[in-house]
Chain A
Amino acid sequence: MFFYLLNRVMQAAALLVGVSLITFLLLYVMPADPARQIAGRSATPETVATIRQQLGLDQPLYVQYTRYLAGLATFDLGRSYAQKTQVTSILASRLPATLLLMLAAISAEIVIGLCIGLVGAVWRGTSIDNGAMVASFIGVSTPQFVAAMAMLYTFSVTLDWLPVGGYGELQHLVLPALTLGLLGAGWYARMMRSMMIEVLSQDYIRTARAKGASGTRIIFVHALRNAVIPIIAMIGIDIGYFMSGAVVVESVFGWPGIGQLTWQSIQQVDIPAIMGITLLAATAVIIGNLIADIVAPLIDPRVKLYPTR
């Protein structure tokens, strides 16, 4: 187990260096001059030159990249151009909000998605099933900003149940989490449905039926356990996705997470911040997948974490 983890961590480190290199190159070829942008419109050429020198922008590309990597090794992501402070402290200030939203949104996705999927599988081929699948299809195809504005308008303005955007209390969390949950639930529903249908046609389910187990017991005890394995993998992917992907929902609801930061940083061509976010998101994807891989054998002993001899 230890060597397996070590191996995975090494792989992850290599992957991160690769991600950082590609991002660095992409940002480097952009025509905008960061020094001039930091300096502002009234800056003197001396100021621009000083800034360029202080940031090391006058150095060749490989020197800049090596410096960045050296910083990375000590968790120093540099200073944000726009926010004028350490990128690590900006990310740290945004992380709690994103983690909270991620947890709530994934929970919502799972609850809604698994219920719809189960219903679809159990009543396969009926109008209930069709309705559930159409609903999940609508969910995955609705643009985030449409859903977010619709939720905001319905629950905050018309019904006046919840505050309009913001952060801090539990009621601020409901709408963004529910929006992401409803939209993402479709993926889980379809996966759940097809897995359940497959599992329910297995021999051991027939055996369980034959020995007289109740329908509920068959579904929840015998079938569900075997059907959730791919769901675990999906959660792993979702962790990475939400770490960087809730851009629209976070912006509409004023949720101070990484997604909103992403949007602002891109608009301001804040290269160190964009680099930091990209690396954080890549790390989250790697960790999410690792967790999914480790959890899967705990649920289904037939899944092996690593080949055993």
Chain B
Amino acid sequence: MPNRFFYAVVTLIIPLVLCLPTAQAQEGKSGGSIIVTYKDDIVTLDPAIGYDWVNWSMIKSIFSRLLDYKPGTTELVPSLAESYEISKDGLTYTFALRKGVKFHNGRELVADDVKYSIERTNNPKTESPGAGFYDMIAGMEAFKKGKAIEVKGIAVLGKHSIKFTLDRRDATFLHVMALNFSSVVPKEIVDKEGKDFGKRPVGSGAYSVAEWKLGQQLIFKKNPSYFVAGVPKLDQITFQVGLEPMTAMLKLEKGEADVAGDGIPPAKFLEIKNNPKYAGMIIEGGQLQTGYISLNVQMKPFDDPRVRQAVNMAVNKDRIVKIINNRAVPAVQPLPPSMPGHDKSFTGYPYDPAKAKEVLKSAGLEKGFKTTMYVFNVDPNPRIAQAIQQDLKEIGIEVALKSLAQANVIAAGGKPKTAPMIWSGGMAWIADFPDPSNFYGPILGCTGATPGGWNWSWYCNKDLDKRAAAADAMSDPARSAERAQAWRTVFTDIMKDAPWVPVFHEQRFTFRSKRLGGPDSLYVDPVRIPINYDHIYIKG
């Protein structure tokens, strides 16, 4: 009996050992197919629900929207809409839809589908995280509150024509129509699949979902009847999930993968960047992101603007950027450099600890004070927080660090008078769409300064709120320069009150195999993060 037991186990192991040599034959991908890896599982591909940076670009490729962005840029272009007209008063937008666009199931996409999709996103039952973006549409509030069965401001004029009426002029409306949440979905499939639509999505985008094994892989197949000629370039994309960034790098090195979706692991960054072997495989690009320290203006002593200014002068941003291996550029204002409205000439509060001490003295705090900073407990954030702690110690401010899970930091930020300081790294703020408005309302405006909101400084300046609203009312595309200027001064004026210490703007680094082609901008697409799946191709 022991022998039998023993041999049973041995026979189990022998096949495993025997298959070692055959494992070498791992090559052989088909011509038009690439592999992209991610650490985390893909949560959902329902465009009304998906809101993380793994599924963001995937959803863009499966579905289409009235408008989209020119690949690799932040320039809005018509997509499902062939053209659109804005009324003189800026309150109605009439879109002419392309004819003959088909969902993946073969049914033609018509104006009713557009109306249905926007209403679905805003129906509280859908639980869409994007429902907050559509409030400018007339009748939206009544619809959300259940007082109306449809949104009055969305009118289907014909099979291929749809009109939106707004309550107020709003320059962000066209961007909102290009958001994933505005993707057009077929009602009959949504009804059939219910909550599982996100696992079996049907859209009208460049790719359709061919196979999805939860926790393992997702396969995109080219949509042969996609309405943009010659797009997509690839026949197939396989997304392998559950791979740690380190493992993904090794896979890429061996040619077993083409794009490391999570980027280069911080610990390996310098080694890989400086290794000539990887020349041409790393693509750097800007990101619509700002990492900042929020200073709670409702809590002492940060209720005094002088204290907040002193903190701004005391933080050595260059050193922090070095700590993260130059994967960012130092920030002096809330808006990132590639965002319209960014002020190139603005210098903010240059690093000057001596002056910071003086300002602190003028606020009656020459002996300094004790405070607490909340920080997300994943590298590199605790290291950055420690650098800030050291900087502030120089001017007499003793900062205790509270290093917590992401959800807990966010919860603390949204509670009044709880977190005096928060280092926003790993949580905030990346723009939802390339418009300065998105960097104001939720994080610096009065609307965000509510329990559960994202305005962690609890800064609320009614005058600036009015100016922001006025800037957003300049919806005529011809006034875009004037609008950018208006936003520019809103943000530089915010810095006078200094509710934030803007620390840096993260850069993005995409690691991809050498066989992939297409302009670099596609691999650091500002809108399709991390990459634009529709337009990339395999070289040669």
State whether the Cβ of A245 lies closer than 8 Å to any Cβ in chain B: no
Which stretch (A59-67, A124-132, A256-264) binds chain B? A256-264
State whether the Cβ of A51 lies closer than 8 Å to any Cβ in chain B: yes
Task: Tell me, in angstroms, the Cα distance from A230 to B407 when the chains sit together.
Answer: 44
Of B1, B5, B407, which one neighbours A37 at CB under 8 angstroms? B407
State whether the Cβ of B196 lies closer than 8 Å to any Cβ in chain A: yes
Complex contact A221–B129 (CB within 8 A): no
Complex contact A47–B244 (CB within 8 A): no
Of A110, A160, A177, A269, which one neighbours B407 at CB under 8 angstroms? A269
Which residues from chain B contact A38 at a C-beta distance below 8 Å?
127
State whether the Cβ of A41 lies closer than 8 Å to any Cβ in chain B: yes
A38-B127, A47-B129, A260-B242 known; A164+B250 contact, CB < 8 A: yes
Complex contact A254–B242 (CB within 8 A): yes
Which residues from chain A contact B133 at a C-beta distance below 8 Å?
42
Complex contact B244–A252 (CB within 8 A): yes
State whether the Cβ of A43 lies closer than 8 Å to any Cβ in chain B: yes
Complex contact A110–B408 (CB within 8 A): no
Residue of A nearest to B51 (CB): A40
Which residues from chain A contact B240 at a C-beta distance below 8 Å?
166, 254
A85-B196, A160-B254, A164-B256 known; A31+B411 contact, CB < 8 A: yes
Chain A 48-83 interface 0/1 with B at a Cβ cutoff of 8 Å (1 = within): 101100100000000000000000000000010011
Residue of B nearest to A226 (CB): B2
State whether the Cβ of B214 lies closer than 8 Å to any Cβ in chain A: yes
Which residues from chain A contact B215 at a C-beta distance below 8 Å?
90, 93-94, 97, 256, 260-261
State whether the Cβ of B3 lies closer than 8 Å to any Cβ in chain A: yes
Distance of B346 from chain A, by nearest CB (Å): 27
State whether the Cβ of A173 lies closer than 8 Å to any Cβ in chain B: yes
Distance of B119 from chain A, by nearest CB (Å): 14
State whether the Cβ of B19 lies closer than 8 Å to any Cβ in chain A: yes
Residue of A nearest to B145 (CB): A46
Complex contact B216–A256 (CB within 8 A): yes
Which residues from chain A contact B407 at a C-beta distance below 8 Å?
30-33, 37, 269
State whether the Cβ of A280 lies closer than 8 Å to any Cβ in chain B: no
Distance of B238 from chain A, by nearest CB (Å): 11
Which residues from chain B contact A161 at a C-beta distance below 8 Å?
20-21, 23-24
Interface residues of A in 99-129 (CB under 8 A from B): 103-104, 107-108, 110-111, 114
Which residues from chain A contact B224 at a C-beta distance below 8 Å?
none
State whether the Cβ of B229 lies closer than 8 Å to any Cβ in chain A: no
Task: Tell me, in angstroms, the Cα distance from A97 to B216 when the chains sit together.
Answer: 10
State whether the Cβ of B476 lies closer than 8 Å to any Cβ in chain A: no
Complex contact A165–B1 (CB within 8 A): no
Which residues from chain B contact A82 at a C-beta distance below 8 Å?
43
State whether the Cβ of B253 lies closer than 8 Å to any Cβ in chain A: yes
Residue of B nearest to A89 (CB): B214
Complex contact B411–A42 (CB within 8 A): no
A41, A79, A110, A153 pick with most chain B CB within 10 angstroms: A41
Complex contact B12–A107 (CB within 8 A): yes
B41, B130, B196, B408 pick with most chain A CB within 10 angstroms: B41
State whether the Cβ of A309 lies closer than 8 Å to any Cβ in chain B: no
Which residues from chain B contact A164 at a C-beta distance below 8 Å?
247, 250-251, 254, 256
Task: Tell me, in angstroms, the Cα distance from A42 to B13 when the chains sit together.
Answer: 53
A83-B44, A84-B198, A93-B215 known; A40+B254 contact, CB < 8 A: no
Of B2, B44, B131, which one neighbours A84 at CB under 8 angstroms? B44
Residue of B nearest to A261 (CB): B215
Task: Tell me, in angstroms, the Cα distance from A225 to B2 when the chains sit together.
Answer: 5
B12, B242, B254 pick with most chain A CB within 10 angstroms: B242
State whether the Cβ of B319 lies closer than 8 Å to any Cβ in chain A: no
Task: Tell me, in angstroms, the Cα distance from A254 to B49 when the chains sit together.
Answer: 26
Which residues from chain A contact B24 at a C-beta distance below 8 Å?
160-161
Which residues from chain A contact B196 at a C-beta distance below 8 Å?
85
Which residues from chain B contact A191 at a C-beta distance below 8 Å?
none
Of B6, B15, B46, B405, which one neighbours A32 at CB under 8 angstroms? B405
State whether the Cβ of A187 lies closer than 8 Å to any Cβ in chain B: no
Distance of B227 from chain A, by nearest CB (Å): 29
State whether the Cβ of A44 lies closer than 8 Å to any Cβ in chain B: yes
Interface residues of A in 205-261 (CB under 8 A from B): 220-221, 224-225, 228, 250-256, 260-261
State whether the Cβ of B192 lies closer than 8 Å to any Cβ in chain A: no
Chain B 1-27 interface 0/1 with A at a Cβ cutoff of 8 Å (1 = within): 111011001101101100111111010
A85-B199, A152-B247 known; A36+B452 contact, CB < 8 A: yes
Which residues from chain B contact A54 at a C-beta distance below 8 Å?
127
Which residues from chain B contact A89 at a C-beta distance below 8 Å?
214
A47-B127, A256-B216 known; A225+B454 contact, CB < 8 A: no
Residue of A nearest to B407 (CB): A32
Which residues from chain B contact A46 at a C-beta distance below 8 Å?
124, 131, 144-145
A82-B43, A174-B19 known; A47+B131 contact, CB < 8 A: yes
Distance of B297 from chain A, by nearest CB (Å): 21
Which residues from chain A contact B199 at a C-beta distance below 8 Å?
85
Which residues from chain A contact B358 at a C-beta distance below 8 Å?
none
Task: Tell me, in angstroms, the Cα distance from A30 to B196 when the chains sit together.
Answer: 29
Of B46, B130, B241, B253, which one neighbours A157 at CB under 8 angstroms? B253
State whether the Cβ of B326 lies closer than 8 Å to any Cβ in chain A: no
State whether the Cβ of B246 lies closer than 8 Å to any Cβ in chain A: yes
Residue of B nearest to A84 (CB): B44
State whether the Cβ of A142 lies closer than 8 Å to any Cβ in chain B: no
State whether the Cβ of A137 lies closer than 8 Å to any Cβ in chain B: no
Of B3, B41, B408, which one neighbours A83 at CB under 8 angstroms? B41
State whether the Cβ of B128 lies closer than 8 Å to any Cβ in chain A: yes
Complex contact B129–A41 (CB within 8 A): yes
A107-B13, A153-B250 known; A255+B411 contact, CB < 8 A: no
State whether the Cβ of B125 lies closer than 8 Å to any Cβ in chain A: yes
Chain A 17-48 interface 0/1 with B at a Cβ cutoff of 8 Å (1 = within): 00000000000001111001111111111111
Residue of B nearest to A107 (CB): B12
State whether the Cβ of B213 lies closer than 8 Å to any Cβ in chain A: yes
Of B244, B253, B411, which one neighbours A251 at CB under 8 angstroms? B244
State whether the Cβ of A146 lies closer than 8 Å to any Cβ in chain B: no
A114-B6, A162-B23, A171-B22 known; A85+B411 contact, CB < 8 A: no
Which residues from chain B contact A97 at a C-beta distance below 8 Å?
215-216
State whether the Cβ of B90 lies closer than 8 Å to any Cβ in chain A: no
Distance of B19 from chain A, by nearest CB (Å): 5
Which residues from chain A contact B44 at a C-beta distance below 8 Å?
83-84
State whether the Cβ of B113 lies closer than 8 Å to any Cβ in chain A: no
Distance of B426 from chain A, by nearest CB (Å): 12
Residue of A nearest to B450 (CB): A45
Pairs A–B under 8 Å by Cβ, sample size 29: A32-B405, A32-B411, A36-B414, A42-B133, A43-B132, A44-B131, A45-B450, A46-B124, A47-B131, A83-B44, A84-B49, A90-B214, A93-B215, A94-B215, A111-B9, A153-B250, A161-B24, A162-B20, A164-B254, A165-B251, A170-B16, A173-B16, A220-B6, A224-B2, A224-B3, A224-B6, A228-B2, A254-B243, A256-B242
Closest 3 CB pairs of A and B: A40-B129, A32-B407, A171-B23
In the complex, besides A46-B145, A51-B127, 14 extra interface pairs with C-beta distance below 8 angstroms are: A32-B405, A37-B407, A38-B127, A42-B132, A83-B44, A84-B198, A153-B250, A165-B244, A165-B247, A250-B242, A252-B246, A252-B247, A254-B244, A256-B215
Task: Please give the residue numbers on chain A whose beta carbons come within 8 Å of chain B beta carbons, in ascending order.
Answer: 30-33, 36-48, 50-51, 54, 79, 82-85, 89-90, 93-94, 97, 103-104, 107-108, 110-111, 114, 149, 152-153, 156-157, 160-168, 170-171, 173-174, 177, 220-221, 224-225, 228, 250-256, 260-261, 264, 269, 299
